[in-house]
Structure 1
Amino acid sequence: MATALLLGTKLRLVFEAGMDDEGNPLYKAKTFSNVKKEATVDQLYQAAHAISVLCKDTLNKVERNDSTEILA
């Protein structure tokens, strides 16, 4: 039976950075590495919003990216 080993977690914040010439939104992202693997969804959400207060752009999306190794 295969098992999964969580190697690392990253937090990615996507900001709305304005509009292009056609009126479509432009996005930019900032990724934070070395996030504690044990961090809960609520903790990551609170951290993302605390960081977004320091930014001029509007927070659009918060993503958690986990890296997992599958072992046989």
Structure 2
Amino acid sequence: MIDINQGFSSMVLRLQTGTDGEGNAVYKDKSYPRVLPTATADDLYQVGEALASLSSWRLSFIQRVDREDLVRI
């Protein structure tokens, strides 16, 4: 039998850093690990926007990545 333990989440900011030679957008992902799984989507979005405002790059989107640990019992 397998047990599922709630792990930490992480937040990823996708920032547009510019364009390539063909005019396509170029992106950089900035990851912030160890987000509490109890954090709401609104909380994460507000924090993500605040962090992105410190950058000169444009925020494209904010992504939440939830992790679960699978353990054999």
CA displacement at 1:15 relative to structure 2: 0.3
2:23 is matched with which residue? 23
Mapped partners of 1:63, 1:6: distance in 2: 18
State the secondary structure of the residue aligned to 1:69.
Answer: strand
TM-score normalised over the length of structure 2:
0.88
Determine the structure 1 residue equivalent to 2:50: 50
Gaps in structure 1 of 5+ consecutive residues: none
Unpaired stretches in structure 2, ≥5 consecutive residues: none
Identity of aligned residues (%): 31
**RMSD of aligned C-alpha atoms?**
1.4
Task: Give the TM-score normalised by the residue count of structure 1.
Answer: 0.89
Deviations 1:14-68 (A, max 9, x none): 0001000011000001000111111000000000001011000000010000111
When the two structures are aligned, how many residues end up with a matched partner? Answer: 72
